[in-house]
Every structure is written in structure tokens, then in C-alpha cells.
Structure 1
């Protein structure tokens, strides 16, 4: 099987900027409950005679894993109910999902909506299968890693699980061990330690931080994580619920702390113009000490051609504590990458058999075939697995909790404004107060 390293998250990142649209999901015709008439010889979509999957053309890892499962672990489920995959461009993903949902035409399984609020609309309208209930009926509880399940529940503000984690990424600071050692810097455990380390490195002529300022989100992640460490894991949900504002002094403190790093030049010259690929290359060729990034970068780190500093020279540290803060360093910044959902329409026992097989075997196959760390339980570790991949798996397994990213509960406009202006913090061209005022206004005041 061809092993693709195409990153589906770029399509997802674009989708996350799209609005929820104006279609009314609850006003469409047709039932959102499983249709018992759709059997092997029945009418309708006849979903018991095929298992449909819809993904984005930018991502081939999910469909590749499903095809591998169909040929092996899920062969029994595929007998009489073969996999029928399809893909559409990710740039209009959310809009097209809404059209399908309004016509009860969602695939049996598909990549979830890119905008969390739209996914919540699907859940409220009964379009998405409650996996907590389905797992209990199928007897397959416990196959999703607790940290991944908690992340997805946070993402959709739900007590139950409505999506599967085909990826599970932890985030934090990856660092060049040699650069720290050469300059007498210990991996920092607190924000003050991190600032002190940056001062030492900068004085020695080493760029402290590498970041894709033009993309914005690697910088805004720092703002969000500072808030979680200082105010607690529910701090940004309070903003979404209208109980707090990003312009409150304790929230502005976080943006100011990141802006201070930019003002000091710790992100390097023209930080706001550095894109994702340039930042990745800069870190992997020794151009900076600390690199805030998600574990999806393991593919780059483990590629000897790209990684000129060596995989054994890369360390990982969680986002540091803010001294006196309400948050915990054990709460790992995380995301579920590209979640997938199952639709309630045309859900039959045959689709349940596929759901069972995917839940039980996806993690092993995705890891073996694509090197993809997922939020599924893994029972077989590849013999050639890298130490960095093992480190990520161990960190996920040991996590006592997780926190989402800065924009996770924002409106689509708020997300756009935040990420558009994140580079201004890294370049020192925007104060924390100015940044938070812009984002708060875009989120509706």
C-alpha cells in the first residue's frame, strides 16, 4: 500500500475558518433515526449493502487505513457490505456537509465538521451517532484512550462521545537538546524559567523560538495555553459562555506575556512572515532552540532527510506552569486531529459491524501503515517505532487531562481574526491588549 504523508490537517485548518452557514438542520425531511427498512434487499440508500465513507481529497490517510482494514481485519464486515469511499475538496467541507445533512444524505462515516459549533448543531439535530450508547450496545467500551475521549467531549461540549479520533496529537515545546546543553539551559518547567532560558539563548546568539508566525495559530496556541495554566482548564469556555471576556485583565496578561517574547525578538527577524514549512525546516536544521508544535510533526522529525539535527537530539516538554496559576502542567494541550463521525440515518447492524471493527483495529493499522498516532487503543507496536513516537504514546497514556487550543470555542470570525493577528504578537507589532480587543470584538463583543 502506498504510504501517504499528506497532512490532512491543512485542509482541516482551512475548513475551521468557515462559517456554520444558514441551513436549518432540524427542518429537513426524513428521520434522523436508523431506518430499519434499509436492509440488504430494502429501499432507500441500502446502506447495509455498502459502507460509505466521505473524506477530503487533501487527506488520504483515513481512507488508506480503511482500505487496509477492509482487506484484512474488517474483511468479515466488508463481506456483503463493502467499503465505498468518496472525497470532496476540503475548502468547502462544512458547507457541503450541511447540504448532505439537510437531505439526510450524509455518508455512513465521514470526516467530522471542521467547525466545532457546526458539529454541535449536527449532534443537537440528531444527525450524528451517539458512540457512547453505540459502544455499550456493541460491547466495545474502553477502546478509545481516555485522554482522546475527554478531548472530543470538550470539543463538542458534550457528556457523550460523538466522533472517533483518527489522530490524537499532543502539543508542547520540542527542543534542540544540544543547543540547550551547549548554553547551560535546563528544560524549563515554569513560564519564568522559559523566559530566562530565552534570555540566555538570545544572549549567546541562538534564536530561542521558532514559529510559523504567518499562519498565526502556533503563536495563539501560546496565548491559550498560558490562560489554561494561569486561570484553569475552563477559562476559555467561560469566555464562550459569556462569563468572562478576553479583554479582562487576567486574560490580557497571557497575550502580554507572549507579546513580550516578540518585543524582545525571541522569535527572530520577520517572525510574522515565516510559514509552516519554513519554520519546520528552520528547527530541523538547527535554526532555533524551542519549537511549539503538535505531535503530527513526528513524520517530519522521523524523516532523516528533513531532520538534520537528528531525532535523538529532539526533546519534548509540556507547556510550562504559570507560577501561582490554577491550571496544571499535567493537563496536556491536545487535539483529535481529524475526527470522524457516523451518521444516524441508515445505521444498521451491518454498519455497526464496521463500527466495531474500525474501533477495535484502526489504531494498530494506522500506526503500522502510516506511522499515525491515534486516539484508539493500540495492541501492536511496530518493531521499528521511533523513540519520539513512543514518547508521545507514553505522554498520552499518562495524561491526567487535556486542554483544547485557543480558538476551539470561538466563532469562525473570531478564529480568523485571532490567527490572522497571531503573527503580530510574535513580531512585536501588536500588544497583548490590542490583540485581545480584536479577537473579543470578532467573537461578538
Structure 2
């Protein structure tokens, strides 16, 4: 994958924080606007509204329209339009209010936007539709689980499927007699051993913040269970409760020992990756999108063969399991209910059968679709992760997935202060909880 493509894809994978209040949605009919290529009998074009900043999905759909889905494209031609991410939610609201949603479109910046559209009857139920089309097996179970966790129903297509966990330097662990940890206590012990040997245990970006808050969220998923943050979103629990503060304390303790190295608050995303791939740190918490860097011999000084992956470890006595991979679906796609017809169904069937192969073969990106082409050459590290995904039937979301925009910003901008001791775990959780508005 080219550096430019990697940059575009990475922007799509990182959590977005823009959001529009549910009350701003204009879902009642009004005059004016384009019909999005639709008629009373459904779509007359296969229109796709894409994020300007992410061309990967549009590129894959274009490839399909010229190849595996050429017949479907002849019956219903693909037409791609773009909208900047900053104004994407507003555009969806406008089109929904005009009953002019395109056939297929990137989901909004926050799950709530899609939920509101769905409640208004504007979104096609993908789960039911794929069952009717006989192609439900083409979506990975873990991807389905992630979509249902995000939206409550199977209403989106998983054009990407990114699992997260701890990547480790095999050489460093072997040289220090460390077995890849499977529990939190083993991870902490490994960090202490590495630190004593003069090796930085973890590389993380405090500037971005989310690589640190992901640790807090995963700890909660392992202790309280996979519904830990759903309970907060529902108002049934608060981050200021003792069992939630415990997670922030556990991550803060790593920082207090200096396990993230010096100046973690000023470390950006690329530097954190380079620190790991140059052999200067033993562990890196990151998603599968980083495979493009690991598989690039020019940027990865370690060599992909010297990198391993483990799920976030279990916490003794906790209700969660390491089988529950932290995951996201990148840029999920949704389909207009009113635009659906037989031609759209044919397109969706073709996408389900071929998207995974084209995405992996052309861009090296793991999607939430099965890969039905055995001829694709997959790098060993990617194949190893694909096997882990295939073996997983469940997933958990990222820490801020159910947060509003303000709480997301507060969480991520204060993460570095949490691990440097500038604020206490109690203060960190209080700040985020205050912005949740529950």
C-alpha cells in the first residue's frame, strides 16, 4: 500500500469526534433537492456518497464495477459523490429531510446519527436483507457483532474490520525470557522486567490520546465485562464509580513507573509506530490498520516476522474474556430503504461476495466480509491476524464509541495527563463523566 493510501485509510480508522445533536435531524419530508438517483420504483443509479477524506471504499467499489460486478453496474451504474467529513452529518440530515438519501452512503460521524435515521425508517436492515438474498454468510460474525454493538441492529456494511490488541517485539521478549502475557498481571510483570533491563515497555501516542484511553476501556471490558461502557451510555453506571476508576488507576500506574517512556504527551501517532518498528519499545497497542506499516520493509526495521499479536489480556477475577476482540468497522456503509429494489439487491449480493477479496488484494485492508478468492497472496502477519478474526465470534467497541463529541475530546486530550500523574484517575473519570451529561 502506498504511503498516501495509508494516510487516507488511517484517518478513516481513527475515532472521529464530530457529532450533531439528535434534535438537529430533519427527517420529515420537505421540498427541493435532488432525488439521489431514485424513483418511486427504487434506484435508477447506484449512487454512493463518500467521505472526501477516504477514497478507499470508492476505489474498491469502482474496481468491482469494472470487474466482478460489471453486470450489476450495467443494470445500475455506479455514481460516486464526495462530502467532507466535517459537514457529512449535516448533509445526511439534509438529504434525509428531502427523502433524497443516495442508495449507499458512509455512516455519520457518530452512531447516534445513523440510529436516528434508522428510527425514522430511512435505513435498510442489512441483516434481514442479506438473509433474504442468501448471502448472510459473507459477513464475518465478529463484524456483525461490532455493528450490532454500535447501532443496535445489523444496519451497516463492514467495509473494514479492524481488531485491536497488543503487538509485541518477539526478539525483545525472547531476549528477556518473557512469554507473551495472557493476563494483566503478567503484562505488568513483563513491563517491570523490561524496564529493569533498560528496555522501554510500551510505545504510545499521548498527543493523540486514544492509544492510552484504549487501555482504560479494554481494562473495563475485562473486569466489568463487555457491556461496561454500554451501562454508562444507558445511565445505569458512572465512570466515577470505584470499579471504573480502577481501570484508570491501572493505566496510570503504568505511567507512574515510566513504562511509556519520556515525553509521552508529545509523542504523535507516527512517532509511536516508528518507536516500535525501530526496536525501541517492546509493546504497542494498536489496531490492524498498522499492518500496512509492519508489512512495509522500508519502514519496518524489525521485519514483520519479528512481530507478534495478542488480544488485550484478561484481568484475574474479571467478567470479560480475551476472546472478545476490541474492534471497529472503519467506515461502515448504509443503504437507503426507499432506494432498494432488485437491482440494488444484486449489487449488494455482489459486494458481499467480492468486496473482501478486492479490499485485501488491492489495498491490503481487512474488511468485515469473507475473502472468497484463494489466489490472493496474503503476508504471513496479516494471515495470522485474519485467523484470529475468523476464530472470534464476538467483539467489544473502542473506549469512546458510545461517548458524545465533548466527552470524547475530554477523554483523549486528558489521557497523557493521566499517565504522567498531572491528574489523578478520579479526576480523569470525573472530567469525562461530567461531559457525558448522564
> How does the TM-score come out when normalised to structure 1?
0.93
List per-residue Cα deviations over 1:364-420 (Å, max 9, x = no partner).
111111111111011124553111111111111111411111111112211111111
CA pair 190-51 structure 1, distance change in 2 beyond 3 A: same
Asked if structure 2 preserves the Cα contact closer than 8 Å seen for 1:116 and 1:156, the reply is yes
The answer as to 2:170 corresponding to 1:177 is: yes
Measured against aligned partners, the alpha-carbon deviations of 1:342-382 in whole angstroms (never above 9, x if no partner) come to: 11132222112111111111111111111111110111245
Q: Please, what TM-score do these two structures have when normalized by structure 2?
A: 0.94
Closer, same or farther: CA 12–395 of 1 in aligned 2, 3 Å: closer
Aligned to 1:336: 329
State the match for 1:114 in structure 2.
109
SS of the aligned residue for 2:47 comes to: strand
Quote the offset at 1:133 in angstroms. 1.9
Partner of 1:93: 88
- SS across alignment from 2:281: coil
Equivalent residue for 1:47?
Answer: 43
Is the alpha carbon distance of 1:19 and 1:422 closer, same or farther for their aligned partners in structure 2, counting shifts above 3 Å? farther
Specify every segment of 5 or more residues in structure 1 that has no aligned partner in the other structure, as ranges. 40-45
| C-alpha separation in 1, matches of 2:288 and 2:346 | 31
- Three-state SS of the structure 2 residue aligned to 1:415 is helix
User: Is 2:312 the partner of 1:311?
Assistant: no
- In 2: Cα distance, 1:355 partner to 1:185 partner: 47
Q: CA deviation at 1:77?
A: 0.5
- Counterparts of 1:381 and 1:305 in 2: how far apart (Å)? 27
**Which residue of 2 is the match for residue 229 of structure 1?**
222
SS of the equivalent of 1:208 reads strand
Mean Cα displacement is larger for which, 247-256 or 343-352? 343-352
3-state DSSP of counterpart to 2:59: helix
Task: Give the Cα separation in 1 of the matches to 2:138 and 2:75.
Answer: 26
Distance 2:428 2:345 in 1: 47
Give 2:131's aligned residue.
136
CA distance in 1, matches of 2:254, 2:133: 51
State the alpha-carbon separation in 1 of the partners of residues 251 and 62 from structure 2: 44
Q: In 2, distance between residues paired with 1:443 and 1:239?
A: 9
Separation of aligned partners in 1, 2:39 and 2:334: 22
- Equivalent-residue separation in structure 1 for 2:405 and 2:87 (angstroms): 14
Measured on the aligned residues, the alpha-carbon RMSD in Å equals 2.0
Q: Larger deviation: 291-300 or 401-410?
A: 401-410
* Count of residues paired in the alignment: 433
Partner of residue 42, structure 1: none
Preserved contact between residue 158 and residue 367 of structure 2 (Cα < 8 Å): yes
Equivalent residues of 1:259, 1:430 under 8 A apart:
no
| Alpha-carbon distance in structure 2 between the residues aligned to 1:186 and 1:74 | 47
Equivalent position to 1:164, from 135, 150, 157? 157
